[in-house]
Copies of this chain bind each other. A is one copy, B any other.
Amino acid sequence: MKTRDDALARDAADPLRGLKAQFDLPPGMIYLDGNSLGVLPKTTAARVQEVITQEWGRDLIKAWNTADWMHLPERVGDKIARLVGAAPGELVVADSTSLNLYKVLAAALEIVKTDAPQRRLIVSERSNFPTDLYIAESLCRQHGFTLKLVDGVDEIPAALNAELAVLMLTEVNYRSGYKHDMKALTAAAHAAGALTVWDLAHSAGAVPVDLKGANADFAIGCGYKYLNGGPGAPAFVWVHPRHADRFWQPLSGWMGHAAPFQFTPDYRPAPGVRRYVCGTPSVIATSALECGVDTVLAAEPLGGMVALREKSLALTEAFAALAEARCAELGIYVVSPREPAQRGSQVCLALKAPLQEAGYAVVQALIARGVIGDYRAGDPARLDAMPHILRFGFTPLYIGFTEVWDAVEHLHQVLASGEWREARFNQKAAVT
């Protein structure tokens, strides 16, 4: 893309361009933060109204049957399953990503304790999203395991050894946008005798995922990023059928019981992944999530996740190339991998010395212009390895090449004019 007209032409030729009409986007905003919070589908408000005023308001308690609230976790779960290479009945919507990680990691540790009790290590990345590390830390304390953190993908092979119990990774790193090779790492972990837990928070709806094809063991994911489920939307959990019936997961609530309405005092887990549902799910929030998932499924007749991925890679490559071409001399460099197979649906930039501390102000100046990205602080002790990051997500459902062009134009102007030096600092950070 050499000119804005090139960008307009690419958008006009984009076979997925019609999908954007599914969303209510704020006018004048270039929203490059769908990897933090997806935008509002046009159907959500009306569907939630229907759930509130008709299902709840009119039918009240009877709606558990008339609207089949009982099977919402499976109904929406089966839709998400289509996006991540899982079969119907293998995936449910429930609780939050953190809670689902607790369930599957605890189940994985149970399996290890039974099958390979000498294995006591959980391996993850230091730059994994913190909640994953916090949950692993808690389970390690409880069960006598150790959480070992590696500082980069290069250190993973050495960690796949006879001590490894579980390799726990987020497929696409929330900071850098680095995308792991799920299939190869799962095979390597299995060859080493370990299990895998995959966090798909930045994958589901963003990149094609093939859980069964990769032979993964457990996976969880987020409903409010690329699935457009709304702020704090319920999350999802998948368990390979070979593990699903083996153990209790510890959050053994009544909605995961084999017969919840028998009200028996003893827990008997439901068959399969249903036991990963705990308490009563929020019907309103799960219904909103369903609308978001439907916006991704709407791409199926146009090539589905493969077509979305092709567009996503084109968008991120165009943004990285343009940012470099136009802003390198102003201090910008690209942190995300340029190799397509290693990149999720986001691009991270950073600033060279002497501007290495300017990232926060630059993001604020962009937000003031209506270009929404976010900032993630680096490690002050080693900024070259872990720089402060300007993070931009490109959701191919509603972002086009013209937004890419315009965003880089704004970035160029913010840096060239020095207006970032005036940017009002908002000390509160946004949510990943």
Q: Which residues of A contact B (CB under 8 A)?
A: 24, 26, 29, 31, 33, 36-37, 39-40, 44-45, 48-49, 52-53, 55-65, 69-70, 95-99, 102, 126, 128-131, 133-135, 137-139, 141-142, 149, 175, 224, 230-235, 248, 250-255, 257, 260-267, 278-286, 288, 367, 372, 374, 376-377, 426, 428-432
Contacts and interface: CB of A to CB of B under 8 A. Distances in A.
Nearest 3 A-B pairs (CB), nearest first?
Answer: A96-B279, A98-B253, A98-B279
A138 B52 contact: no
Contacts of A24: 53, 57
Nearest to A288: B284
A288 B99 CA distance: 22
Nearest to A261: B429
Contact of A283 (B230, B266, B428): B230
6 contacts: A26-B59, A26-B60, A98-B254, A99-B251, A130-B265, A133-B265
Nearest to A124: B265
Q: Chain copies in the assembly?
A: 2
B56 A283 contact: no
B284 A56 contact: no
B40 A52 contact: yes
A372 B64 CA distance: 14
Contact of A284 (B29, B135, B248, B285): B285
A372 B96 contact: no
Which of A57, A234, A286 has the most B CB atoms < 10 Å from its CB? A57
A238 B60 CA distance: 28
Contacts of A70: 428
A281 B53 contact: no
Contact of A56 (B231, B265, B428): B231
B126 A265 contact: yes
A57 B44 CA distance: 10
A195 to B, nearest CB: 19
Which of A139, A232, A281 has the most B CB atoms < 10 Å from its CB? A232
A232 B281 contact: yes
A248 B138 contact: yes
